[in-house]
Amino acid sequence: MRIDAHHHLWDLGRRPQPWLTGEALDPINRTFEAAELEPLLDAHGIDATVVVQSSSSLDETRELLAGAAESGSPVAGVVGWADIADPALPEVLASLAAAGPLVGIRHQVQDESDVWWLGRPEIRQGLREIAAAGLVYDLLVTPREMTAAVATVQALPELEFVLDHGGKPPIAADQWEPWAGQLAALAALPNVSCKLSGLITEADWDSWRPQDVLPYARHLLDAFGPERVLFGSDWPVCTLAGRYADVYALAEQAVAALDPAGRDAVLGGNAARVYGLNQL
């Protein structure tokens, strides 16, 4: 079983993606639908995927759920968006879960001006509601927000967290700390896993080489262990720096030293377990 645990889909004809600004993002400032992704999945033997929200929109989440519920869709789970501070969050989550295979919630914490946003009382309460609903919370943070992320994961042992994109290490700057130490501190907590995803777009988009990225990938594998790392392509964002094939080849290189069971876990089994994709 092979699962891509992190990719996006968006239709700019339905709604804008507010973060798609600036000339650097022009290559992905268009619509990306499942039909474009499916040949890439087939080429790499990917059996199923988890699609992740890309805007703070309940309507987008409902559309992703509807698409995942269609017959023949490769999407087995949706990490959607909801207003975590909404007092009606339990009802919102129940409504979303009834619409399709909702497996988690995510918010773009990296875009919040408050570095301690995750520590706000209303956010912590919302995260408790996510746990009560049996969902996972995807952490989208950079080293700037990592201290708050560690404190939050520690404070909410009942909630399963997944760190996206390895916490966004500063690969292009060739920096190791404080990211490496922060990642180890987070990995010491048992209720968090980590995605082996999004690393090539943290490197220099035009000149990165596998040897630039692999030390960071191997550190997160060492920190979390093969039983808590999930492969994700971050398509189509990854295409800013490389092809789907480049991302998958890099993941294969990163896990090459693991035994077959470890490789299978990272490339699919962990995603099925963490996100509860029991039908696979």
- Name the residue range of residue 96's domain: 3-274
Domain count, the chain: 1
Across the range 260-273, mean pLDDT stands at: 98
Task: Say what the pLDDT of residue 49 is.
Answer: 98
22 pLDDT above the threshold of 80: yes
Task: Say what the pLDDT of residue 99 is.
Answer: 96
Contact between 164 and 133 (Cβ < 8 Å): no
Contact between 4 and 232 (Cβ < 8 Å): yes
Does any domain span residue 33?
yes
Q: Distance between CA atoms of 112 and 97, rounded to whole angstroms? A: 26
Across the range 252-264, mean pLDDT stands at: 97
Q: Distance between CA atoms of 212 and 208, rounded to whole angstroms? A: 6
279 pLDDT above the threshold of 80: no
- CATH number for the domain spanning 125: value is 3.20.20.140
Does any domain span residue 280?
no
pTM to 2 decimal places: 0.96
Across the range 215-241, mean pLDDT stands at: 98
Does any domain span residue 12?
yes
Task: Say what the pLDDT of residue 280 is.
Answer: 62
Does any domain span residue 279?
no
Across the range 28-41, mean pLDDT stands at: 97
Place of tokens 């912590």: 124
pLDDT-derived band at 154 (thresholds 50, 70, 90) equals: very high
Q: Distance between CA atoms of 148 and 143, rounded to whole angstroms? A: 10
**How, if at all, do strands 48-52 and 102-107 pair?**
unpaired
Across the range 246-250, mean pLDDT stands at: 98
Buried b (16+ CB within 10 A) or exposed e, 10-39: beeeeeebeeeeeeeeeebeeebebeebee
272 pLDDT above the threshold of 70: yes
Across the range 50-68, mean pLDDT stands at: 97
Task: Say what the pLDDT of residue 71 is.
Answer: 86
pLDDT-derived band at 101 (thresholds 50, 70, 90) equals: very high
**Percent share of the chain, pLDDT over 70:** 99
Q: Which helix (H) or strand (E) holds 264?
A: helix 260-264
Does any domain span residue 194?
yes
